[in-house]
Each structure stands twice: as structure tokens, then as C-alpha cells.
Amino acid sequence: MRTVLFAAALMAALTSVPARAASDRDHADCEQVTQPSLKISACTRILTSANLNDQTRSFAHYNLGLGLLLKNDFDRAIVEFNETLRVDPNNLRAINSRGNAWRGKGDDDDAIADYNEAIRRDPTFAYPYNGRASVYYDRGEYDRAIDDFSQVIRFNPTLAAPYNNRAQALRDKGEFDRAIADADDALRRDPTNGTIYSVRGEIYRMKGDLVRALADQDQAVRIDSGSALPYLTRGDTYRYKGDFARALADYDQALKVSPDYIPAFVGRGLTFEKQGDLGRARAEYEKALNSRSQFRGDVAGSALETARARIAAFESGAPQPVIPPAPTRRASADSIPTPELAVPAAAPATPPVGKRVALIIGNTHYRNVRPLINPEHDAQAIAASLRAVGFTNVTLLDDATREQLTDALRAFADEAAQADWAVVYYSGHGMEMNGTNYLVPVDAKITTDRDVQFATVPLDQVMASVEGASKLKLVLLDACRNNPFVPQLRRTGPTETVATTVPGAPTADAAPSRSIGTGLAAVKVSGATLVVYAAKHGQTALDGDGNDSPFAIALVQRIATPNVEINKLFRLVRDDVMEATAGRQEPYTYGSLPGAEDFFFVQK
């Protein structure tokens, strides 16, 4: 045994080489950011070289962390940034980059803590404002994101990226004119940036102008013809407007640039489906599901959800809705043409197991603002649809005052406590203030922000009304309309300060106000609960120029589809609304259901 150990020690001594000093090439390779693997190996060589001082050690640990961050190896990146800070506690770039790594891991709280610390130490350091803005943006806190992007612009006014970032936050908040102005500013600073043209094209599309959207998307393709994404987004716009040949050509080109590109398969499937060729559509969806592509970002993940839902709909045997092309240019900022809606009969099915109850509310005839058109018809259609699929009891409430709405929710809570499923559908005005969502009764008189809490009904009361159900709690809100109460409000309360005060920065308004957002705020749910918004948090939903809203039409057309699990069914609703509105409105589902049981409105 001693002989073996001696031989091993001798071999190690003969083969070991004394550590050498790092070369200039190592330093250059460690510092570059275009080749992460080369960066990592060069920084590692420096850290194992001889005669390291603290400055070089800090440099190497920090750049090694950046290389790992570029490769999405977030845990190891955090270790290297910690080592950087151990050697150099005042390295603000390491604090900011560690925040980026925390954000990559999905740990937003630790990310914001690092960004806040970097800003506290140097309020003029722009990078952490950008990182913090990105977290706020991902959370749907668009006002906070816009404030932080504005700080980045203040410190780096020559850069295009912060203008483009702020444009996207303004776009998602529904402030399209301001978003276009920011995209214009970004293009003045970087006129050959295809990404900015893509962003501005999407803003024009969401504004309802497909002609100008296509002009920008054409430019994005010319600039960035080696990327699949510009072809994909232009293909989507062609599909929305009914130009199917050009849509398919763009998806084909996207697949030439990036073979096995999941969103392009799904785009082709949706196009074939709108052409009525369900066989070819299904083949494209199956290509997406069978793809071995390693590119599984947000766009691809969303496309896969669509593919699964569409195949489930085909397998149900139910007729698929016919969705007409969207208008090339909008006629109204707040509405879109919608067809007449007939409630489909439920397919022959096994009677639902257990007791299912619903409260349906349609607030149309508001007394202190202009009446709505859709909610009365929407509520009647949804109520009829739920009765058709076997709900035990469906209560329909029209034009509810605050007292009537509160009483109805209280009574429904008792009913839900004896039921397996409890569903509340609300169509009418809603609003958000300081992160809290409110439903607006027809008798609401709101002249100041203080009135909101006294004249409306908080969404929490709706959530409480369904929580007693033993299996499924479902809240459906078509309440994200452009709210006429908001412009007339007199602001009285304190504003929450979002951005860190910096020397020379603009001060708060002399008459600060409570934060009142566009649309509804995101909601957190737990247990077997789903909350479905007609439009994603922070966005406004469109009314229909016909009797019904786009969301209600999609829901009624899909709710009787047999054997489609409820998450897939709401994915179908989401996609149908996107198609009908050219992507101007995206319904959104909050919450998840336990995996032990699947839920179906109709099951054969």
C-alpha cells in the first residue's frame, strides 16, 4: 500500500507544473463577452496563475461570474460574484450582476435587494435601475418599470436600449402613443436596429394599425434577415389580417433560418386552421410537440401550450369556431367588430359529478357614466352556456348596485360552501388602485380617489365568495375595459414613491395622488383556484361593436367542448381572442390546479 501511495506521489510531482503568470491574451479573453466558454476558461486560468493581487483576483472572479451568467449558470455565477465582493466589497458592478443572476433564477426579491443596494451606494449608477425595471416589468408593475427606465434614460440619454425598453412597458400599459414616441427616439439613436422596428411594429399592431405594423416588420426583416423572429412576427400579422399565403411564406422562411422552430410550426397550424384545413393544422401542431429544439424560451413555451390545446379541441369532435380576419385599421380605440353569438348546445355528455353553482353579473346601465352595451348580453350568454353544460344552479344578476352586489356575493358564499364547483362571472367596469382590484357597481359615484374604496366592491370579496367550494373555484372577469371613472377622478391621497431619489431628479408633484392603473392588477391565488381576466393585468379589454365582447364570444364558443381539460380550454379562449383582435387583447389565467385531478366543463 505504501508503494502505491509513493508511486502516486512521485507521478504527481513529475507531472505538476508550477503556476504561471497570466498572459495578456488571458486577460483579453477573460474580459470579452461574445464567447462565454472562452471567457470562462480564460478567467479560470487567471485564477490559477501565480502572483495574483487583489485587483486581478477581483477582475477574474467578476468576469468568470459574467461568463457563467451568459451561459445561464446562475448558481455558480452568484458564487463568483460573492467572491468578487469578498475581495472588493465596493464593486457595484458585482452587486448589480449578482442581482441579474438572482433574477435569472426567478428570485425577484433577492434581485431587487441587490439592485436597491447598488442604487443606495451610488444613486447615479444606471445599470441597477434597468435591472429593477425589468423585474417590475415581468411582474406587470408597469408604472414602476417606466419610472426606473426613465432613470436609465436620464443617466444615459444617448443609448437606444432604455427608450426601447420603456416603449415596451408603455405598450403593455396601453399607452401606445407614448410607446411609439419612445420607439422613435430609440430609432433616432440606433436607426439600423431591427429589434426596435419589431417592437414599434408590435405597438402599431396593438394599436390596431396593421398597415403600419407591417411596414415596420418589413424593415425588421430587411435588417435582421438572419433571424427567425422577424419573420415570425410579420407572419402573425399577415395571419391576423387574413393574408394566409404571405403568412405561410414567412413561417416557411423562419423555419429555413431556424429549422425546428416551434413558434413557426404553430403559426403554420393556426393559419391552416383559419383556412379550414384541420388535417394540415394538426400535422403542424404535432411537429411542434415532437420538436427536439433546445430553444424553449417564453415564445416557444407559449406556442407549445397552444399546440396542446388545439389538438385537444380537434380530438373533442366539436366543430371549431370560425374566426374572421381582424380589421386592417381600427375604427375605435376601445372596441372591435364582433359577430352575432348563438349559445351552442352542449354535446351529449356524462352528467357532471357533484354540485356546480355559478353567479353571473352583467353591469350595463351605469348611472353616472356612459352605459355599456355588452355586459347584459354577455351575462345572459354565459348563464345559458353554464346551464347547458349541467350547472346545478346559475344565478343571473343584472345592473347590480353596490348593496345588491355585496348581498349576492354573501348569499353565493353560502351556496358555494355546499358545492363542488363555484364560478363567478362578472362583466362591467373594474379598476385598480394601489394594487387592489375593484368591481364597479352601476350606482357608483366616484369623483375622488377616496371614493373608490367606498363606492366599489373589492375583488377580494369575490374571491371569498367562491372559497368554500370543495373542488374548483373559478372567477371570470371581463372587467378590464377602458374605465370612464379614471379620467374624472380628483386625486387626494399620497403617492407611493417608486424610483429612488437622485441628485437633481424631478421631485414629486405638488399634489400627489394615489396610484390608479390601467386595467386590473395581477392577482395571486392558491389552492384549486383559477382567476381568468379578459385582458392581461395592466391592459384594457375591447368591447364588441355587436352585442357581445370578444372574450364572452370565445368563452361561449368553447365552454361546451367535451373532454378538454379546463386549463387547455382557457388557452383556446385566449388564442381565439388573440386571433379575433389581431393580438390587441390577450386573456390571462392566474393560478394553477392540483395535478391529482383534471377538471372538465363537459366530459363524455
pLDDT tens digits for 430-452?
A: 988 888 899 999 999 988 888 88
* Distance (Å) of CA 302 to CA 162, 234, 571, 574, 575: 26, 18, 10, 11, 10
Strand-pair partners of 476: 425, 532
23-35 per-position pLDDT tens digit: 899 999 999 999 9
| Residue pair 240/271 in contact by the 8 Å Cβ criterion | no
CA 513, CA 152: separation in Å to the nearest integer?
Answer: 24
Q: What is the pLDDT of residue 269?
A: 98
pTM: 0.85
Q: What is the pLDDT of residue 384?
A: 96
362-393 per-position pLDDT tens digit: 999 999 998 999 999 999 999 999 999 999 99
How is residue 406 written as a grid cell?
A: 355585496
Q: What is the pLDDT of residue 485?
A: 77
Q: What is the pLDDT of residue 518?
A: 66
Instruction: Choose among 263, 332, 249, 265: nearest CA to 299.
Output: 263
Q: What is the pLDDT of residue 569?
A: 97
Q: Please, which pLDDT band fits residue 507 given cuts at 50, 70 and 90? A: very low
What 8-state DSSP symbol labels residue 322?
P
Q: What is the pLDDT of residue 1?
A: 39
Q: What is the pLDDT of residue 357?
A: 98
What mean pLDDT comes out for the span 161-185? 95
Contacts of 521 (CB under 8 A, 6+ apart): 140, 432, 435, 436, 437, 537, 538
Q: Assign residue 399 a region (left: φ > 0; alpha: ψ between -120 and 50; beta: otherwise).
A: left
Ranking 33-42, 84-93, 400-409, 502-511 by mean pLDDT, the lowest is 502-511
64-120 per-position pLDDT tens digit: 999 999 999 999 999 999 999 999 999 999 999 999 999 999 999 999 999 999 999
Is the confidence at residue 514, as pLDDT, over 60? no
What mean pLDDT comes out for the span 250-259? 96
What mean pLDDT comes out for the span 470-493? 83
| Residue pair 464/514 in contact by the 8 Å Cβ criterion | no
What mean pLDDT comes out for the span 466-490? 87
Is the confidence at residue 198, as pLDDT, over 50? yes
Look over the chain and give the mean of its residue pLDDT values, rounded to a whole number: 89
Q: What is the pLDDT of residue 538?
A: 76
What mean pLDDT comes out for the span 531-541? 89
- In order of their start, the domains of the chain are 20-122 (1.25.40.10), 349-500+511-590 (3.40.50.1460)
Q: Is 296 helix (H, G, I), strand (E, B) or coil?
A: coil
Q: What is the pLDDT of residue 593?
A: 86
The H or E element spanning position 516 is strand 516-517
Place of cell 476558461: 41
Q: Is 39 helix (H, G, I), strand (E, B) or coil?
A: helix
Q: What is the pLDDT of residue 379?
A: 97
Count of Cβ atoms closer than 10 Å to residue 156 Cβ: 15
* Distance (Å) of CA 377 to CA 332, 380, 432, 477, 595: 20, 5, 25, 15, 35
Q: Is 402 helix (H, G, I), strand (E, B) or coil?
A: helix
320-357 per-position pLDDT tens digit: 999 999 999 988 888 888 988 887 776 656 777 789 99
Place of cell 364597479: 440
Q: What is the pLDDT of residue 448?
A: 87
Contacts of 256 (CB under 8 A, 6+ apart): none
- The stretches of 436-484 forming alpha helices (DSSP H) are 451-455, 459-466
